[in-house]
Amino acid sequence: MIKLDTIRSDKIWGYENWIASTHPNGMQKEFYDFAGGDYPLLVKVIQADDTLSVQVHPNDEVAERLENCRGKTECWYVLSARKGAQLVYGLDDVYSPDELRKAIEDENLEDMLFYADVHAGDFIYIPAGTVHAIGGGLRLLEVQQSSDITYRLYDWGRGRECHVEKGIACIDESGIQDIAPFDGNFECEYFSLEKISCEGSYESSVDGADAVLYFVLDGSGKINGYDAEKEDIFAFKKGEVLKAEGSIILMKILPNL
């Protein structure tokens, strides 16, 4: 078992903390060694003080053909949200590529976007092809395929490079789901999430599994008697049981490939 150090990346809109990554653009060498090489997921905490660009990610087929990399399906769990916080979750209607190009050129794509109010505890699934943007005032846990490919469609007049043709070609909003408070479990082709409340103790067998990630959503405690402030980490072997002691809420994250 290891505790991972985060990799911080400052942005014009806030920052990202890459908290579990073997991707070359943010490699945690200790995690790469622990996982036995490339890990199929990348987990981040995103702090959005301002709105991110409107963007879309390619699926596996398109990403392999255009960029020689994985596609990028992801999801968000809202850790905190200021009053009135919103995000963009898809388009508000069906538009042709020409209509989208013209709106981007005329700098009024915002009139074609669907805006959703979100609150702490909400869950948002972002399959590849979904037009999206994180609004200011949000802090999110993001679980995604291990890919750093983004096509920026629109940047609210901030002047950064956009990838209009590639982005429009990727749009596929057939996988959009309702935004709602996380019900405790989610599974898709690429990853599974489980929210776990630990009162007293929690045991989890990892025998035969890929590296399992645990993100502490709330609370504090010890893992098999390990206190991060005072003790060296206890070395686990495959097949042993992880026990969390204390009052903690965890997000358990597993790859499905």
Three-class HEC string of 5-22: CCEEEEECCEEEEEEECC
* CB under 8 A, 24+ apart: contacts of 235-241: 235/1, 236/1, 236/206, 238/206, 238/207, 238/208, 239/205, 239/206, 239/207, 239/208, 240/206, 241/203, 241/204, 241/205, 241/206
Whole-number Å distance between alpha carbons of 248 and 215: 10
Could you confirm whether 158 is annotated as catalytic? no
**Does 133 map to a domain?**
yes
Q: Please give the pLDDT value at position 234.
A: 47
Q: Please give the pLDDT value at position 4.
A: 85
Q: Please give the pLDDT value at position 218.
A: 86
Residues 131 and 240 in one domain: no
Best CA proximity match to 242, nearest among 209, 183, 201: 201
Whole-number Å distance between alpha carbons of 18 and 78: 16
116: tokens are 């959703």
Residues 143 and 236 in one domain: no
Best CA proximity match to 56, nearest among 85, 79, 88, 86: 88
Which range marks the domain in which residue 144 is found?
A: 7-182
Residues 119 and 21 in one domain: yes
Q: Please give the pLDDT value at position 205.
A: 66
Q: Which helix (H) or strand (E) holds 255?
A: strand 241-255
Q: Please give the pLDDT value at position 204.
A: 72
Torsional sign, CA 243, 245, 122, 82: negative
Last residue of one domain, picked from the residues 164, 182, 200: 182
Residue with tokens 């963009």: 88
**Does 2 map to a domain?**
no
Low-confidence ranges of the chain (pLDDT < 70): 205-209, 224-246
Q: Please give the pLDDT value at position 230.
A: 54
Catalytic residue chosen out of the listed positions 8, 82, 139, 152: 152
Residues 58 and 26 in one domain: yes
Q: Please give the pLDDT value at position 245.
A: 59
Q: Could you tell me how many residues make up the chain? A: 257
Q: Is 17 exposed, middle or buried (0-12, 13-18, 19+ CB in 10 A)?
A: middle
Q: Please give the pLDDT value at position 237.
A: 39
CA distances from 185 to 107, 110, 157 (A): 39, 33, 38
Last residue of one domain, picked from the residues 122, 147, 182: 182
Counting the structural domains of the chain, the total is 2
Last residue of one domain, picked from the residues 182, 210, 231: 182
Q: Please give the pLDDT value at position 250.
A: 86
Q: Are 138 and 186 in contact (CB under 8 A)?
A: no
**Does 1 map to a domain?**
no
Whole-number Å distance between alpha carbons of 200 and 34: 28
Q: Are 7 and 28 in contact (CB under 8 A)?
A: yes
